[in-house]
Amino acid sequence: MVLVDAKVNYLKNPVGIDDDKLYFSWKIKSDNQNVMQKAYQLEIDGVYNSGKVESCESVFINFDAKDLKPQTRYTYSITVWDNYGESDKITSFFETGLKSYKNWKGTWIKKGFEGNNLASFRKEFILKKEIESARMYITALGIYKVMLNGEKVGDNFLAPGFNAVSEELLYQTYDVTSMLRDKNCVVVTLANGWTLGRIYHNQSGLTNPAFLSQIDITYKDGTKDFVSSDTSWTSYPSAWERADIYDGESYDASKENKDLYYYGNNSEDDVYAIKMIYPYMHIKSQTHEYIKKDKKVLPVELIKTPKGEDVIDFGQNLTGWVKFKVKGNKGDKVIYDHAEVLDKHGNFFIENMRSAKNLIEYTLSGEDCEEFEPSFSFQGFRYIRLLKFPGEINLNDFEAYLVHTDYEKTGYFECDNEYVNKLFQNVIWGQDDNFLDVPTDCPQRDERQGWTGDAQVFIKTAALNANVGAFFTKWLGQLAKEQRYDGLIHPVCPDVFLSENASSGWSDAICICPMEIYNAYGDTKILETLFTNMVKWVEYVRAQGDNEFLWNTGYHYGDWLSLDYLLDADSTDDKEAVKFGGTDKSLIATAFYANSAFIVSQSAKILGYTDKYIEYKNLYENIKKAYQKEFIKSDGTLISHTQTAYTLTIYFNLVDDLEPFGKNLKALIEKNGNKLSTGFLGAPYLTYALSKCGYTDLCYDLLLTEDFPSWIYPIKKGATTIWEHWDGIKENGDFWSEEMNSFNHYSYGSIVAWLYTNVAGIKYVEKGYKTFEISPQVNKKLNYVKSHYESMYGEISSSWNINGEKVDFKISVPCNTTCTFKYGDYKKAYQSGTYEITLDYIN
């Protein structure tokens, strides 16, 4: 037996962790079958020893870290004993950050000259003795890039990320020990980034990017030293002329004086930096994964479009940027913009980027070989259009990088239908493309916001594809911090619109997302931390209108972008009306209200808050009654005869007898030619609702439908990510619309959760798969399925293969978990190991 993957708050060996509570998790691997943990012991470097604890818990073991020293590396070890009498010990570490805002030694500084916000700041310093270690702590209003002695600090980008700056600003920690010399020079370059950029809609109230940093040095003899941001730093205009998340950037290499990155130089334009008054108290260490480069994508084709433009196709819609090499004369330019699609004539199409320019401009220095990639912006694209490029265009000089939050990938699905496989891959791309520090709606147009609706719709899929526990802990924490005094949850986080409205299905993310993170990872702390916010949200809804059990007032996005408005209307070109779908908004709102009340009751139960459990369980029951009274007609149909109305009613258990509602849902789909018509709020639950009513065969039909509207239709139209609209590109090649037409919106990708949980059958039951189920819904429309998921306990896998009238199943169960395998009448509990089971195929 061996222990692997020791983690603290989801992270391996985190450096700069300030949380008052630390949660330890580990995995057990063994060649034995049926391995369960009998006891564990957690020891932290002289400060804590749990002793041998008889327990099978191996995730989120809580330690009160309030009294830990700041800036200290703690080694910890975990020992585990299993039911075979074997034991193992794993040793790992974590390092605290500044722990308190009081430990910042420097001051906020901004540039000392007028004009362009893209300033560089410089400081030279000499080390007095031999060093043992050095850390750099830094945050910024805007985005920073740090160079230390000519080398970039950190392999991450776009820090400090997208924050709800008035509530919380994150700082990052870097181990810079090996980068320091006797004589040093540190250069920080700033850009507007999210906070001061167009994306923040001027709501941050700031005009100057600024930063706060310190390098803390420990010498070999134990003495300390530091270099912090203050007015002894100089500032000078950087070689960047322009940078904005939406608009791309402009860089003049001929203006870059590389000597300035090294000690002993100074710029002619040096002006001392100015101290800026800005708070420290809301600065917190970043404890989710940093933004990093993932895959490299090489161009597949250089296209001359009918308009005669030079376009490079990377073959994949992605988020990140292009890196290129170029040779030319000083002053020559490389200029290109980005697009997701070509129009039906094969021309470069950027209208759907709306006001986002996504324009990169590079002026050559004339050096032998020059290389550039953006530092202060990112683009969502498949194609670039070279508006200027000196010399011949050679595809070998271009490469694209996928850039996103560096979470661990955990899920895989494969079957014998190539379209379904492509759908799965497109969803993975869509997630990576949109999980860039916050979960965004899309990565390309002038939006890229943390829309709560999109995030809640997709979170189940997201948490299977990757470990997004730390990522959502950050985003949900900020969503909660931005909650209005009366409980209102804004529809985007960070709340860049300063909106005063909530929306059902969007704001409910405050309940849905923490519960999903708890279920996926066994993370009780997220429920504990956000419980009050969840309650406040439900109470906010309760206070709306004059019936406390209905939500029939206010503004709602409805079943966003569903197709059923068209079914009931004669025909309409009114895109505004179509957007909100055909399902009654009060029905949707009340359904989500019931679900949120239910989640609050369940959270209270998990947390042991008995009174609250009873209170919200009763509230849920009352909402359910009111729902039935208000929205079910005397003939038993719903007031909105739409797929989404039935789906929500079934999925959220709003009626006791599901059968007639299931029949209506099935009939509606059949009436629609066996096709879906759901929007953002119905689509994620449609197949779940059908499966629940026993109509799995119909789910397979929906999954495998190739023409519009379906999940496969966009693939047949060349999609490499998930589209915002079911018909972003119509049969005849026309666009749904020119300007509201993203080709990288993950919402409809939420079908992938159902592939894992129902087709492969991997379902959590308790505490992040401590107990789980494998109950595949096998159907001969596929011949085989293979799926695996790296849970907090280790790998779970499920595959099935149709073999005549038999089905061969293969499952694996990680140590310290219990799985119930179910197929038809067969039901058996399995503990760790790999098992093969052959059963009769059930039609």
Among 82, 343, 370, 454, binds ligand BGC (CB under 6 A): 454
**Tokens describing residue 556:** 């709602």
What are the angstrom distances between the C-alpha of 587 and each of 230, 451, 541, 591, 598?
Answer: 57, 22, 14, 6, 16
Q: Should residue 495 be labelled a site residue for ligand BGC when binding is judged by CB under 6 A?
A: no
Q: Which stretch binds ligand BGC (CB under 6 A): 271-279, 447-455, 690-698, 800-808?
A: 447-455
| Cβ 728 to ligand BGC shortest distance, Å | 12
In angstroms, how far is the first alpha carbon of the chain from the final one? 41
Rounded to 10 degrees, the C-alpha dihedral 650/656/657/661 comes to -30
> Could you say whether residue 433 binds ligand BGC (CB under 6 A)?
no
Active-site residue (options: 361, 482, 724, 790): 724
CA angle 113, 116, 122 (to 5 degrees): 55
Encoded tokens for 691: 């499966």
Q: How far is the CB of 627 from ligand BGC (least distance, A)?
A: 23
Contact between 491 and 453 under an 8 Å Cβ cutoff? The reply is yes
Pairing of the two strands 15-17 and 794-803: unpaired
* Position 453 contacts ligand BGC (CB under 6 A): yes
Burial (Cβ within 10 Å: 0-12, 13-18, ≥19) of residue 285: buried
* H-run or E-run covering 255: none
CA distance 146 to 138: 9
Reply yes or no on whether 739 is catalytic. no
As given in the structure block, the two tokens for residue 586 are 């009060």
Q: Minimum distance between the CB of residue 405 and ligand BGC, rounded to whole angstroms?
A: 19
Is the Cα dihedral 474, 475, 480, 482 positive or negative? positive
**Which parts of 341-443 fold into alpha helices (H)?**
418-434
Contact yes or no for 564/643 (Cβ under 8 A): yes
**CA count, 13 A, side-chain hemisphere, 709:** 21
Cβ 112 to ligand BGC shortest distance, Å: 40
**Which amino acid, 24?**
F
Q: Interior CA angle at 268 toward 262 and 273, to 5°?
A: 80
Stretch that binds ligand BGC, among 158-166, 247-255, 367-375, 450-458 (CB under 6 A): 450-458
Q: Binders of ligand BGC: how many residues, by CB under 6 A?
A: 9
| Comparison of 157 and 557: residue with beta carbon closer to ligand BGC | 557
Contacting range for ligand BGC; rule: CB under 6 A; set: 46-54, 72-80, 264-272, 451-459: 451-459
* Residue whose structure tokens are 């220095």: 365
- Per CB under 6 A, contacts with ligand BGC among 741-780 are 745
Q: Which stretch binds ligand BGC (CB under 6 A): 107-115, 441-449, 508-516, 613-621?
A: 441-449
CB of 138 to ligand BGC, least distance (A): 32
SS3 content of the chain, % helix, strand, coil (to 5): 25, 35, 40
Q: Least separation, in Å, of the C-beta of 449 and ligand BGC?
A: 7
Cβ–Cβ < 8 Å for 735, 726? no
- How many CB atoms sit inside 10 A of residue 366's CB? 14
- Name the minimum Å distance from CB 329 to ligand BGC: 43
Site for ligand BGC in 169-228 (CB under 6 A): none
The token pair at 58 is 């191996």
CB of 454 to ligand BGC, least distance (A): 5
380 binds ligand BGC (CB under 6 A): no
| Number of Cβ atoms within 10 Å of the Cβ of 486 | 9
Under the binding rule (CB under 6 A), the answer on residue 447 touching ligand BGC is yes
Exactly one of 447, 482, 516, 790 is catalytic; which is it? 447
In angstroms, give the least distance from the CB of 451 to ligand BGC: 4
Residues 591-610 that bind ligand BGC (CB under 6 A): none
Given candidates 560, 592, 695, 746, which one binds ligand BGC under the rule CB under 6 A? 560
Cα–Cα distance for residue pair 341/381, rounded to 1 Å? 8
Q: Give me the residue whose beta carbon is nearest to ligand BGC.
A: 441
Decide if residue 441 touches ligand BGC (CB under 6 A): yes
CB atoms near residue 569 (< 10 Å): 12
CB of 482 to ligand BGC, least distance (A): 17
Q: Residues near 756 by Cβ (< 8 Å), separated by ≥ 6? A: 411, 413, 464, 762, 787, 789
Least distance to ligand BGC, CB of residue 569, Å:
20
Q: Of 840, 455, 358, 528, which is closest to residue 681 (Cα–Cα)?
A: 455
* Closer Cβ to ligand BGC, 457 or 464, answer by number: 457
Q: What are phi and psi of 141, to 5 degrees?
A: -95, 105
Residue 370 among the catalytic residues: no
Measured distance CA(419)–CA(711) in Å, rounded: 9
Report the distance separating Cα 800 and Cα 319, nearest Å: 34
Decide: is 451 part of the binding site for ligand BGC (CB under 6 A): yes
559 binds ligand BGC (CB under 6 A): no
CB of 441: closest distance to ligand BGC in angstroms?
Answer: 3
Residue entry with tokens 């320091």:
180
A 10 A CB-CB count for 376 gives 27
- Of the pair 454, 564, the CB lying nearest ligand BGC is at 454
The amino acid occupying position 283 is I
Give the binding range for ligand BGC (CB under 6 A) out of 383-391, 440-448, 622-630, 653-661.
440-448
Rounded to whole angstroms, how far apart are CA atoms 407 and 410? Answer: 9
Span from 134-142, 236-244, 445-453, 518-526 in contact with ligand BGC (CB under 6 A): 445-453
557 sits near ligand BGC (criterion: CB under 6 A)? yes
Looking at the annotation, which residues are catalytic? 447, 724
Interacting residue ranges for ligand BGC, rule: CB under 6 A:
441-442, 447, 451, 453-454, 557, 560, 745
